Amino acid sequence: MDKKILTIQDLSCVGQCSLTVVLPILSAYGLETCVLPTAVLSNHTMFKTWSYLDLSDEVDNIYANWKENGFKFDAFLLGYLGKAGLMDAAERAFDEFSNDGRLIIIDPVFADNGKLYGGFDEAYVKGMAHLIRRADIILPNFTEACFLTGMEYKTSYTREYVEEVLAKLSLLTSATAVVTGVELEGKIGEAIKRGDKISYVMGEKLPKSSHGTGDIFAAVFTAEYLGGKSLEEAADKASVFVQDCLKATPAEHFYGVVFEKILNAQRKA
């Protein structure tokens, strides 16, 4: 039977991130994609201003009806929750709505480039460091991996430093860690730790980055991995997808990437 996935993250109405990118990507890969919206924002928080409707209070109502209707999911992809209180709700979803053999992928989504996103604090980081114990795979970027482990964020570091961070992540969770945005020897990519095995998937470092690319990486990685690719293959496909998005995005399109073009090109190929 086809896989049914629940993705838990916010709906930013404008800005090409979270649900507006993850939902079309997972669907295009043929996954039946269900959503638990954690918040509705006018736009993402990299714009000058934004409105924020926290949906925490609606979760009980949604879960009661899911229970009544007998819904279960084969996989979970968790992203931007916004409020630490929603971490309990996420755990309840794992406990109450899982099919046998389900996969839990957690992208912590609270920081980048050495800084917390607007609205997040140390308590959120601590909560996420606890929540990831429930994951099978975690997808932190290098900044988030440093925050989660209490390691210093550096812009220049060695392979040894990356592996120290990976080792500290293993103290928090037995999940496979796929740490994105790792920069080594002029390249950028993922450092992957599964049990004692560490591997790297490194690619071209482009002279720009953009908002929403972490969410796009998570969606493509999840779809490829659920489709049977290895961790490394899925990470490579997701990185190349993100690079293609960045290359296709004009400079004046500052708030996200034109992932629609790449998804559409993939459909026609």
Tell me which of 215, 224, 236, 244 binds ligand PXL, using CB under 6 A: 215
The CB-of-132 to ligand PXL minimum distance in angstroms stands at: 17
CB of 38 to ligand PXL, least distance (A): 9
Place of tokens 């939902």: 23
In this structure, how many other beta carbons lie within 10 angstroms of the beta carbon of residue 247? 13
List the one residue from 55, 212, 220, 224 that touches ligand PXL (CB under 6 A): 212
The correct pick among 3, 6, 7, 10 for binding ligand PXL (CB under 6 A) is 10
Alpha helices in the chain (DSSP H): 19-28, 59-69, 86-96, 122-131, 142-149, 159-172, 213-226, 231-248, 259-268
Which residue, 193 or 213, has its beta carbon nearer to ligand PXL? Answer: 213
Judged by CB under 6 A, the residue of 214, 223, 238, 259 near ligand PXL is 214
Beta strand pairing status for 73-78 and 4-12? parallel
Q: What's the min distance (Å) between Cβ of 71 and ligand PXL?
A: 25
Cα distance between residue 173 and residue 168, in whole Å? 9
Query: Is 188:202 a contact under the CB 8 Å cutoff?
Result: yes
Please state the φ and ψ torsions of residue 178, each to the nearest 5 degrees: -115, 100
| Residue 224 binds ligand PXL, judged by CB under 6 A | no
CA distances in angstroms from 78 to 22, 23, 44, 138, 160, listed in the order given: 11, 12, 17, 10, 29
φ, ψ for residue 115 (rounded to 5)?
A: -130, 150
Per CB under 6 A, the list member of 8, 41, 234, 235 interacting with ligand PXL is 41
Which range binds ligand PXL by CB under 6 A, 26-34, 86-94, 199-207, 212-220?
Answer: 212-220
120, two tokens: 């997040």
Distance, CA of 33 to CA of 7 (rounded, Å):
7
How near is the Cβ of 64 to ligand PXL at its closest, in Å? 26
Nearer to ligand PXL (CB atom), residue 18 or residue 222: 18
Query: Other CB atoms closer than 10 Å to residue 175's CB: what's the count?
Result: 21
Using rule CB under 6 A, residue 12 touches ligand PXL: yes
Residue 99 or 113: the one with the smaller Cβ distance to ligand PXL is 113
Site string for ligand PXL, 78-107 (x = CB under 6 A): --x---------------------------
Selected from 6, 7, 8, 18, the binder of ligand PXL by CB under 6 A is 18
Q: Residue 125, interface with ligand PXL (CB under 6 A)?
A: no
Q: Measured from the CB atom, is 74 or 190 closer to ligand PXL?
A: 190
Q: Name every residue whose Cβ is closer than 8 Å to that of residue 132 and which is 6 or more positions away in sequence.
A: 106, 108, 138, 148, 172, 173, 175
Q: Which residues contact ligand PXL (rule: CB under 6 A)? A: 10, 12, 17-18, 41, 44-46, 80, 109, 117, 211-212, 214-215
